[in-house]
Each structure stands twice: as C-alpha cells, then as structure tokens.
Structure 1
Amino acid sequence: MIELTTQPIDFTLVTDSVRTHVAGAVVLFMGTVREFTGDAQTSSLEYEAYPSMALQAMQQLETEACEKWPLHKVSMVHRTGHLDLGEIAVAVAVSAGHRKEAFEAGQWLIDALKERVPIWKKERYANGSTEWVHPDETNAGKRVGTPQGGAS
C-alpha cells in the first residue's frame, strides 16, 4: 500500500496490509502532529504534495528497501491537507522474517521519505504565524520561506 490521502490514516489497516504468516516481525512507524517544535507552540500542520511525483518516489523507496533488506511487505501512507494536534501525518509499516531487518528498514524508509519525497509541511503556530519547514540532515527541521523538496 503506497498512498497519499486527505483522510485520517487508519494505522490498523496499514499494519494489517503488511502482515503475513511468513513474517516474524511487523514494524509500524507513525508520525503525529505534536504541540511543540523546539520553543514554538504548534496549533496545526498543513501538508502539500506533488501527487504523481510523490507516489513514484514512494514506490522507488519501496523497491530500494526490498533490495536492501529481506522484506515481505511494505506500506507507506502520507496525509495531505490540514492536520490538527495528535493526528497521524504518516504511517510506514514493514514485515520481515526477523525484527532487526524490520526495524532497520522501517527507520530507513521514514528517513528517506522525509528527504526524497516531494511533500511539504507548513507549521501553523499558536501565535497565528506560519512557516514552511524542510528537514535538514538531523531531521530537526529547517525553516524556509517557500516549499522545497523534502517531506513531513
């Protein structure tokens, strides 16, 4: 399951989509909207994507992950549009024969998704201001004036 959606992400569906009787490990990562980014209080987020390019990039990540690790199944779902505090912005799930491969692949997938998929995040702050955020090498987030490559 590789998907962009404007609807709330059903993490049970994402998890179930990678389960199989041959997998001994299923790992799910959910990225959620948090209230504070550093000292700034966030009120909500807004995600925009270039859908055809984003889906193609996500499918390429799935291919690469399956070449690097012995995975059984992979799912990645990213939300677009307005998200309130606590909502799920992204879910990545993988299944593998063993936990080590599942954890490594899951972490690699979310990190690569944030770096390579054309999805942009606008943070809306409690004080009424907004800014586009682009993850830097440490995934701590670098504020920018306009949307640029990167994700969540």
Structure 2
Amino acid sequence: MNVTVKLFAGLKEAAGRSEVELDLPDGARVSDALAALAHLAPDGMSLVLAVNREYAFDQQVLHPGDELALVPPVSGGAPDAPSARIHVAVRDEPLSLEAIAARVADPRAGAVVTFDGRTREVPFLDYEAYVEMAEPVLREIAGAAVERHGLCAAAVEHRVGRVALGEASVLVAVSAPHRPEAFLGAREIIDVLKDRAPFWKKEEGAWKHESVPSPPDGTAESSP
C-alpha cells in the first residue's frame, strides 16, 4: 500500500520536501507508519500521525486513499451549539481585534471577552499550519467551549506566515450573558488551542515544539 504523508515545520525542513512516500503492507496501522517515519524526527521528539485531518490512535488501521500528515509537537503548548455563532479562520494577513469582536456581538450578551496573542521580544515569528486540519480543530475547540460555558458566540483567528513584533498571531473573542462564563470560555479556547491545534512557529531560526497533541479521549480505538 503506497501512501503520501504531509510534513510540516522542522520535519519539512529536515526532509527537504513537504511530502514523503511510504510503502506499507496491507492492514498497516498508525504505529507502523510512525515507525517508518521516525528517522525524520530529532532525538527525543514525539510525533503524532493525523489521518483524514484528525489525530489518530497508534492501533488505527490505515486504508488506501487516507490523507496522512506527520505532526510534530505544536507550538503552544463537539458539534456547534445550535443557538450560537462560531467563526474560525487561518489568515496570512494582519488580524483585527475590532473585527473579531464584532463577530461575537449578540443582543443576549452582557459580556464580551477578547484575547490578543502577540509577537514579543523578537523582531518577528514565522508561523506554519496544516490549514485543512487547523480550521476544523479550531471549530471543534470553540464549539466545545460554547457548549460548556453557555456562550452566545465564539470566534478564533490565527495567523500564518511572518508576524512582526507587536502584531497579533492569534485572536479569540467570545460573548456570553455574564462575565464569568465569558472569561472561562475565552481562557478555555486559547489554552486548548495551544495544546491541540496544528500550528508551528519558528523563532530566531528554530522551530518551537512544545505540546504533543493526542486524540480527544486519549484511548485507543478498537480495530478489526
């Protein structure tokens, strides 16, 4: 079974290309693909395989036509509620705090909380993302916060490309009937995003790998 595996950040630089080809036996599992790709990782780096844009368990069986991506630790560290609005975007141009706050305006809301994560102390940061996976992951994270905290709306935007000193790399905005829920919802979104969303940043020539993502429930799925 021939499969193509997408590479990102430092793995892409180490391989000198954005994709690699693997020849795996029929019935191969995620663990087999990771073993075949282990040579691409620096010593001690944990890797995760994304299958069809979702983080995969080691025992998950691979099939011809699966979309595979080798995910190094990301640089951070539920269905949408029917009555809430959720907006997510990955952009290669400057982000607007005013615009994202406007996206969560709601007549039911007595509180709007925003978070503005910026480049600091260095002239710039370079960001890369697995965009096709990142936006669904951001939507899942925002949707879970909406449901858990009863938010009226949630919005998340993240930059890719070069982000200069003082510019925003990630914005979060939420609205809720009361301020405790709004603060909790915004905090949850940014914290989980840093742990799970497939974004990577390069600072002063080095990729930062800080958090190893895992499948949502952390348990292995059964396979035939």
Q: Which structure 2 segments of 5+ residues have no match?
A: 1-86, 215-224
Give the TM-score normalised by the residue count of structure 1: 0.80
Structure 2 residue identity aligned to 1:64: A
Q: Deviations over 1:40-82 (max 9, x none)?
A: xx22100000001000100110121122111000000000000
How many residues of Structure 1 are paired with residues of Structure 2 in the alignment? Answer: 128
* SS in structure 2 at match of 1:71: coil
Q: Is the CA contact (8 Å cut-off) linking 1:14 and 1:91 kept in structure 2?
A: yes
2:139 alignment counterpart: 59
Task: Provide the C-alpha distance between the structure 2 equivalents of 1:29 and 1:63, rounded to a whole number of angstroms.
Answer: 17
User: Which of 196, 199, 214 is the aligned partner of 1:119?
Assistant: 199
* SS in structure 2 at match of 1:132: strand
Task: Provide the C-alpha distance between the structure 2 equivalents of 1:43 and 1:62, rounded to a whole number of angstroms.
Answer: 30
Structure with larger Rg: 2
2:168 alignment counterpart: 88
The answer on 1:3 being equivalent to 2:86 is no
User: Which of 29, 34, 43 is the aligned partner of 2:115?
Assistant: 29
1:17 alignment counterpart: 103
* SS in structure 2 at match of 1:63: helix
* SS in structure 1 at match of 2:152: strand
List structure 1 runs of 4+ shifted beyond 2 angstroms. Answer: none
More strand by share: 1
* Pairwise CA distance, 1:104: 0.6
Distance 1:131 1:149, change over 3 A: farther
Structure number with higher relative contact order (C-alpha < 8 Å, ≥ 6 residues apart) = 1
Q: Deviations over 1:100-131 (max 9, x none)?
A: 0000110110010011000001112xxxxx11
1:50 alignment counterpart: 130
